Amino acid sequence: MIDRSFLIILLITACALSGCSGSHLVVRDDQSRALCRCMPLPNCVSSHSFMFFNKTSPFELAMPEDQAWRIIKDTIENMPRTVIVEEQPGYIHAKCTSLVFRFVDNLELLLNQDTNIITVRSSSTFALFDFEVNYLRIDNLRKTLQEKGAIR
């Protein structure tokens, strides 16, 4: 018989290692959309996080949506080792590959068209620690988009 504590540790480890993989776009019953929250691990940054070490500010559009979204998409496509893997109106999901170890991270942006606020999320797909790579990715994207006048 398998020890109960072993099963709990195994389950926690499996969730921790795969918790940031898969689809993160949540479609609610009322058809509204949201990004999945970060697990309370230091490998994810989100504007919807409740944990201080996972928290970042959302982006606010500074120009009309169609112009800003085009700039945002072009900026993401021109990020090194980054490929957009899914795009829907007001939603971008990109995969970012690290230079040295080839780890793959998820980068997601979701526009709320009513408020002109973009929810952002960047997360590791495998590692438990990201050494603030995801936070820096969001911060650099924010600075670039502010310089281009797309967000405030």
Span 52-111, pLDDT tens digits: 888 999 999 999 999 999 999 999 999 999 999 999 999 999 999 988 888 899 999 999
When the pLDDT of each residue in the chain is averaged and rounded to a whole number, the result is 86
The domain limits of the chain are 4-147
Span 89-100, pLDDT tens digits: 999 999 999 888
Three-state DSSP state, 8 = helix
- pLDDT at position 151: 98
Give the right CATH number for 4-147 from 3.30.310.80, 3.10.150.10, 3.40.190.10, 3.40.605.10. 3.30.310.80
Is the distance from CB of 107 to CB of 122 less than 8 angstroms? yes
Distance CA 3, CA 57 (A): 43
- pLDDT at position 12: 55
Q: Is residue 21 very low, low, confident or very high in pLDDT (cuts 50, 70, 90)?
A: very low
- pLDDT at position 2: 63
Percent of the chain with pLDDT over 70: 84
Label residues 120-139 b or e (16+ Cβ within 10 Å = b): bbbbbbebeebeebbbebbe
Residue entry with tokens 């940031």: 20
Distance CA 119, CA 110 (A): 5
pLDDT at 15 over 90: no
For range 136-150, the mean pLDDT: 97
